[in-house]
Structure formats: C-alpha cells, structure tokens
Amino acid sequence: MEDKTNVKFRLVSIEGETIKQDFSDNALKNIEEQSLKFQYKIRTVIKMSEDTIIVIPSIRYSYNENVIFESSAEFVYSIRTLAAAIDVDKENKKINVKSNIFPSLLGAAYSTLRGMSFVRSQDTPLSKFPAPMVEVDTLLNRNGISVID
C-alpha cells in the first residue's frame, strides 16, 4: 500500500544519448503523415545499493516500414533513501512501492527526450512531426522495471 512518505530525488545526469537518423531516401522530402509510424518504449533500472533509479526512454519513427529516426538516453536520478520509497521482495519477485515517485521520473524523462529529439530533428523532413505527448499513466503501464542490488 502506498503511503505519504516524502521522498527527495534529483536528476543527476543524462547519459548515453543516442541518435540514429537516415533521411537518405529522396521520398522523405515529402513525408506523408499517414505513412509515418511512431513507437516508444520506456525502461527503468533500480539500483538499490546506490540509491539510484535510471529511466531509459526511447523513441522511433518509421516511414514506409524503414526506420528513419531513433533516439534514447539514460536519465539518472539520485533518490535520497531509496528504501523509503521502494521495497524489493526478492522471494516473490515483486516491488512494493511505498511512495510512488515513478510518475514524476518517467514523465520528466520522456518529455525531456521528446525535446531533445525535436531539437535533433530540426532541418530534417521530420521537423514537422514532433514526438507526441504520452499520458503518464500510459508510460507507467508500459514501463519495464529491473532491480539491481
């Protein structure tokens, strides 16, 4: 059960930014929105012994089944007393959330990657199609979590 524990956290760094772009196809000069496909994923790595949570959002655009743009980065958050927010039940392979900090962490990481990708795609055919906003609840439901002691 979630309680009202006040957990302090801060963004420590943004690492491992990767951008892959391929706009070599001349057909890309006139992208048609109905042929453009957007995908995203989000993963979280909890490092209990380091009081750290790493959120790794990724976005991808495909056009006519060809990947034309990919972007990802690792958002490293320091959590003061991570054990106050999360308890790991190793026996049952469950995470017990005492203070739900995930909406803030995931929302901030995804939104920041959206902005980074928008800047990186300027002066490309993709500049007219910024990554869509995604509801935080959707990010939470699609989040893959792994725990490292």
What's 91-111 look like in SS3? CCCEEEECCCCHHHHHHHHHH
Q: How many CB atoms lie within 10 A of CB 100?
A: 15
Whether the model pTM is above 0.85: yes
Q: Report the chain's mean pLDDT, rounded to a whole number.
A: 90
pLDDT tens profile 95-145: 888 888 999 999 999 999 999 999 999 988 898 999 999 999 999 999 999
| β-pair partners for 79 | 9
- For position 75, what pLDDT does the model report? 98
Helical (H) or strand (E) element with 24: none
Radius of gyration of the chain (CA): 18
The whole-angstrom separation of Cα 91 and Cα 130 is 43
pLDDT tens profile 14-64: 999 999 998 887 667 778 888 899 999 999 999 999 999 999 999 999 998
